[in-house]
A and B are shown apart, each in its own frame.
Chain A
Amino acid sequence: MSLDDFYRQNILDHYQNPRNWGTLEHPDVSAEDSNPLCGDRIRMDLKIKDGRVEDVKFSGTGCSISRAAASMLSDEIIGKTLDEVKALNRDDVLELLGIELGPVRLKCALLALKTLKVGVYGIQGWKEEDES
């Protein structure tokens, strides 16, 4: 894979122009998580209406992969039901990014998903066996 493939235009675009960037004033769900390996930190705020994600904002610090994944994921979940959000897994994130990653960089890519799940399970009760 060439460098240009790895840092695909869409990853760089989401990194430099993150969608749904910021925080929500009165979020129904707010979760924050970090990657102790590199100090990356992501906060995700969700507005829930009738069991669906009405709005989402994210913020934090991170590398291009972790921020792009958060940005793409935030776009992806708007309008989804909480059950649909809970069903998202690592393959969905990798598909959004469109690249393959080794186990170290995978942690960057999955930080947003992990944060999102902590938040979503937080309002309906954590079910460990559902963690992916």
Chain B
Amino acid sequence: MTPTAAPSRRLDVAAIRRDFPILERKIHGKPLAYLDNTATTQKPASVLKALDDFYRLHNANPHRGVYLLGEEATAAYEQARETVARFVNARSARDVVFTRGTTESVNLVASAWGRANVARGDVIVSTEMEHHSNLVPWQLLAEEKGANLRHIPVDGQGRLDLTNLDALLDGPVKIVSFTWVSNALGTLNPVAELTRRAHAAGALVFVDAAQAVPHMPVDFQATGADFLAFSGHKMLGPTGIGALVSKREHLEAMPPYQGGGEMIREVTLLRSTWADPPAKFEAGTTNFADAVGLAAAIDYLTPLGMDAVHAHGRELACQAIRLLQAIPGVTVHGPPVTEDRGGVVSFTVDDIHAHDVAGVLDREGIAVRAGHHCAMPLHARLGVPATARASFAVYNESSEIERLAAGILKVKAVFHR
């Protein structure tokens, strides 16, 4: 969508807020303004109920028991896979591997695909704005294989600088792995362009969609990417469940990630053969109950309309940028307000440490993140040791942004008296 496209409809935030029990909590005597949604989101009652119902009524180990409960649990788990596949437009549910989350999805590909396909002297390309989870697994692989790492640089406004992309993609580049939406700055990266150019250079593409899938329409097949990963707990779902979506051919060709039950076809004492994907990559008892919870989260998000969800996040981010930039001493990092972006706003207040900003805001009931947001190289690039970050979800409202701005005035009053 373009920045000027009007949302087809607006979220009914007042109604949405009633679905999230935790929003009734008071924090230090003030209503909770939860603005750390990039780290994890709160859960609607429907997700809590889905988990509770599953454990109360349907719990059994999927793909094992032939008794009724086993059949029900298997059906619920595979239905959850269908729901995920439909939500991100995977070609088939068979192309969806359940993982612990984005981090495990990156590790799965770096390990299973990487070991089979990356050799000494090969090149792995990533970017300077990545979350550590999309840097460290590739570092481990490069170390093991003697491969080389290259990183697409970030410009002063937190956008990828593609000026020298052709040079970065020159040579034996095997994979290009990048984030769709920056968790630290809210930057929206040009996924289609990066994918097209990486493919032209003969490389595969891995998209870290941990901040995209929860907040905007995602069409895996339209991106053209080879792999795409996201986490359930960042999209109103439970912790410990996420997905790797892949082109079928890679799942077919890749060796297994971990060995154990469920991922085998036949086992003898000396060797084994593998189940078809996705089971091949789901060793051991899976996190099936949380997969059901993730499906409930998707069932909550879908009727809201992901276009409307994205427009809501961007609107709150723009309001926050405008209000914060009007406060003397506040620096907002990342792309300007005129650009399309995710619902993430990182900022610094004078020379006040981000922990102190977040500490004072906490006393006002406002939860923001303070630190390097698991993106130390990006912060080194921006030249700031730590920033405070406000990030938004469907239940955040305009009045909370006003409270954030008022809270920052309080921060200044406390530290400049």
Residues of A within 8 A of B (CB): 1-3, 6-7, 12, 16, 37-40, 61-66, 105, 108
Contacts and interface: CB of A to CB of B under 8 A. Distances in A.
Contacts of B363: 2-3, 6
B409 to A, nearest CB: 13
B359 A39 contact: no
Interface of B: 28, 353-356, 359-360, 363-364, 370-372, 376, 379, 385-386, 410, 414-415, 417
B404 to A, nearest CB: 16
A38 B371 contact: yes
A63 B410 contact: no
Interface of chain B, main secondary structure: helix
Contacts of B417: 12
A38 B341 CA distance: 25
A39 B11 CA distance: 38
Contacts of A63: 353-356, 359
7 contacts: A7-B356, A37-B371, A38-B353, A39-B376, A40-B353, A61-B353, A108-B355
Given A12-B415, A62-B353, 18 more contacts: A7-B356, A7-B359, A7-B360, A7-B415, A12-B417, A38-B353, A38-B355, A38-B371, A38-B385, A38-B386, A39-B371, A39-B376, A39-B386, A61-B353, A64-B356, A65-B355, A65-B356, A105-B359
Contacts of B353: 38, 40, 61-64
A61 B415 CA distance: 16
A65 B415 CA distance: 12
Residue among A2, A62, A64, A65 facing the most chain B CB atoms (10 A cut-off):
A64
A12 B414 contact: yes
Contacts of A7: 356, 359-360, 414-415
Contacts of B385: 38-39, 61
A66 B356 CA distance: 10
Contacts of A38: 353-355, 370-372, 385-386
A66 to B, nearest CB: 8
B360 A39 contact: no
Contacts of B371: 37-39
A108 B364 CA distance: 21
A100 B356 CA distance: 15
A16 B370 CA distance: 20
B356 A3 contact: no
B355 A3 contact: no
Contact of B355 (A2, A12, A105): A105
A38 B357 CA distance: 13
Nearest to A104: B355
